[in-house]
Structure formats: structure tokens, C-alpha cells
């Protein structure tokens, strides 16, 4: 197993999207669908559950082999220590943000985000007593001024904004977040790990709506977050409490979809270039 992990570290993104994460049974090439709500409680599982450790393999909201397979695949693609999957992209966004934001905390972000995220921030996060401050994240001086003005818990943005496709300067934003002690979180749905790996640019957590490009077949909803084991473990505890976990059947469709991510992304990029020239 360790040799496979070492091989995948050196492999290209296309190879990783096909071979990473897969948890075979009886020499199958694909991970089986572990359609089970509960699992046999052996001594090791019981000890993990008793100690409150993340991913105790006793209940599918805590851990499931089908979802774990795609989490490992996503972690490989993002070059992250770990990842976590959710039933929807909004479940991933809200669970991640509420892991680090409490009443009285502040988030600095931009209104140029996915509309569902802005709705949640405006309608729910403020209701929870969270200070939501909007700035133009393309204006780095304005971002620094906002971070300097008041203690900030989270800096949040999108790699390519949805739907306006503005590009964020991730290395500069990550440096500013670190300078002022904020946790840097980015939604990289439109970029995918094929074109950008935000963790390598200094961000602490990267979110995707897998509904879109990562799955690619318009047949499931889903979300994910990747980052260090420490970050993901913290988010796992909130995921356990809030629900929003991915169903094993969703996970199997996502694993299948991600195997073609590399070729789909290359072809869609090529087609987009031709359309730009034509227009």
C-alpha cells in the first residue's frame, strides 16, 4: 500500500484521477458500494468510537468505505493530507465555515461568490451573530485594510468566481491571511485540481462542489473539502454533528466520474479556447 502511495505522489494528475483512492474487494477494479448504515463493532472500532476519534468505522455518517475511497482520491489530486465529502456543495461550504466561525467572529470575503454562499452568509451567518465583511478581493490593499481593521477569523474567496469567472490572486491572499492570523479557505470548484491546487499556494482548506466538474455527469449532488489532517479532523467533528454526509451510492458515482476528470477537463479547456477565438 505504501509503495502505491509513493507511486501516486510521482504520477500525473490523469493517473491519480483514475487510480488513487480505490478500495477494491475480491480484486475488483472499482470500489464496491457499501450500502450500509451501520458496521460490525469489533474491538478496534469500539475503542475508536469510545475515545471519540474521527472516522470510527461504526456508522456511515462517521465513516464508510465508499465515501472514504473518493476522499482519498480528492486528497491525492489536491496534494492534501486528507479530505472529507458531503451530500452537497453547500453542506461542504457551511460545515467548513461553521467549524471555524462562532458568534462574534468575523469573516472577510467578497460578494462575487456563488449565489448560494452569499445567501447563507447574508441570511444565516449574520443571524448566528457572525460579522460578515465584504471587500473586493482583487483589491489587495482593501483586503489588507479589512484584515488589519479588526481581528478576523476566516478569509474566504473563490479561485474562479461563480459565475463571473474573476481570478483571485491566491498566493497574495494566503500571505495576507497568514500575516493577520486568519484561516484561508477557498472554493475552487471551477478551477478543479487539474488547473490549480490552492493548498500549494498557501491556502489552508480548499472546497469543491463535486456536483459540477469533478463528477461531470449531472447525476449527483455533492461537496468536498481538502486540507491538512488537523483541519479536516476539526471539520469532521462538525460534519458528524450537522449531518450532510455523502451517501455511498453518491460516492460510487463520484468515483466513476472522477476517473474521466483529466480528459474531460483538457477537452473542455480546448473547446473553450476555440470558442473564444470564434467569438
- pLDDT over 90 percentage in the chain: 84
Closest by Cα among 175, 12, 154 to 79: 12
Cβ contacts of residue 266 below 8 Å, gap of 6+? 194
Task: State whether residue 172 is helix, strand or coil.
Answer: helix
Report helix, strand or coil for 90. Answer: helix
19 burial (CB, 10 Å; 0-12 / 13-18 / 19+) is middle
Residue 159's pLDDT band (boundaries 50, 70, 90)?
A: very high
At 122, list the grid cell: 447574508
Apex 136 CA angle, 95 and 156, nearest 5: 20
Residue 212: active-site member: yes
Instruction: Examine the pLDDT at 41 and tell me if it is beyond 90.
Output: no
Whole-number Å distance between alpha carbons of 63 and 84: 10
Percent of the chain with pLDDT over 70: 97
Residues 6+ apart with CB under 8 A from 263: 14
**C-beta of residue 248 within 8 angstroms of C-beta of residue 85:** no
Q: In 3D, which of 258, 194, 212 has the Cα closest to residue 114? A: 212
62 annotated active-site:
no
Q: Which of 212, 233, 238, 256 is catalytic?
A: 212
Least confident residue range of 36-40, 100-104, 140-144, 243-247:
36-40
Q: What is the pLDDT of residues 51-71, one digit of tens each?
A: 999 999 999 999 999 999 999
The model's pLDDT over 231-267, given as tens digits with 9 standing for 90+, comes to 999 999 999 999 999 999 999 999 999 999 999 999 9
**155 close to 147: Cβ distance less than 8 angstroms:** yes
Residue 63 near residue 73 (C-beta atoms within 8 A) = no
Question: How confident is the model over 122-158, as pLDDT tens digits?
Answer: 999 999 999 999 999 999 999 999 999 999 999 999 9
CA distances from 5 to 10, 16, 61, 77, 240 (A): 9, 10, 26, 12, 28
For 250, the grid coordinates are 453518491
Catalytic residue among 153, 180, 187, 259: 187
Catalytic residue check, 114: yes
Q: What is the mean pLDDT of the chain?
A: 94
Q: Is the pLDDT of residue 108 over 80?
A: yes
Architecture of domain 79-278: 3-Layer(aba) Sandwich (3.40)
* Strand pairing report for 82-86 and 106-109: unpaired
Q: Which residues pair with 132 in a beta bridge?
A: 107
- Choosing from 13, 34, 72, 114, the catalytic residue is 114
Non-local CB neighbours of 43 within 8 Å, separated by 6+ positions = none
**Set of cell numbers at residue 235:** 471539520
Amino acid at each position: 500500500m505504501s509503495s502505491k502511495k509513493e507511486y501516486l505522489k510521482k504520477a500525473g494528475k490523469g493517473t491519480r484521477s483514475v487510480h488513487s483512492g480505490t478500495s477494491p474487494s475480491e480484486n475488483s477494479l472499482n470500489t464496491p458500494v457499501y450500502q450500509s448504515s451501520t458496521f460490525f463493532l469489533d474491538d478496534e472500532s469500539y475503542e475508536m468510537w469510545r475515545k471519540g476519534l474521527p472516522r470510527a468505522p461504526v456508522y456511515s455518517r462517521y465513516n464508510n468505505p465508499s465515501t472514504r475511497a473518493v476522499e482519498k482520491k480528492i486528497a491525492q489530486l489536491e496534494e492534501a493530507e486528507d479530505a472529507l465529502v458531503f451530500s452537497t456543495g453547500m453542506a461542504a461550504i457551511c460545515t467548513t465555515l461553521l467549524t471555524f466561525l462562532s458568534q462574534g467572529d468575523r469573516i472577510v470575503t467578497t460578494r462575487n461568490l456563488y449565489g448560494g454562499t452569499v445567501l447563507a452568509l447574508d441570511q444565516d451567518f449574520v443571524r448566528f451573530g457572525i460579522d460578515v465583511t465584504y471587500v473586493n478581493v482583487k483589491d489587495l490593499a482593501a483586503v489588507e485594510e479589512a484584515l488589519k481593521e479588526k481581528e478576523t477569523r476566516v478569509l474566504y474567496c473563490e479561485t474562479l468566481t461563480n459565475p463571473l469567472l474573476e481570478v483571485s490572486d491566491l498566493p497574495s491572499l494566503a500571505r495576507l491571511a497568514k500575516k493577520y492570523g486568519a484561516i484561508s479557505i477557498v472554493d475552487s470548484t471551477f478551477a478543479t485540481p487539474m488547473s490549480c491546487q490552492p493548498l500549494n499556494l498557501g491556502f489552508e482548506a480548499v472546497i469543491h462542489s463535486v456536483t459540477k466538474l469533478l463528477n461531470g455527469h449531472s447525476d449527483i449532488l455533492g461537496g468536498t473539502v481538502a486540507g491538512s489532517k488537523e483541519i479536516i479532523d476539526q471539520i469532521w467533528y462538525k460534519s458528524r454533528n450537522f449531518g450532510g454526509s455523502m451517501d455511498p451510492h453518491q460516492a460510487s458515482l463520484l468515483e466513476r466520474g472522477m476517473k474521466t476528470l483529466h480528459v474531460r477537463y483538457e477537452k473542455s479547456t480546448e473547446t473553450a479556447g476555440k470558442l473564444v477565438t470564434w467569438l
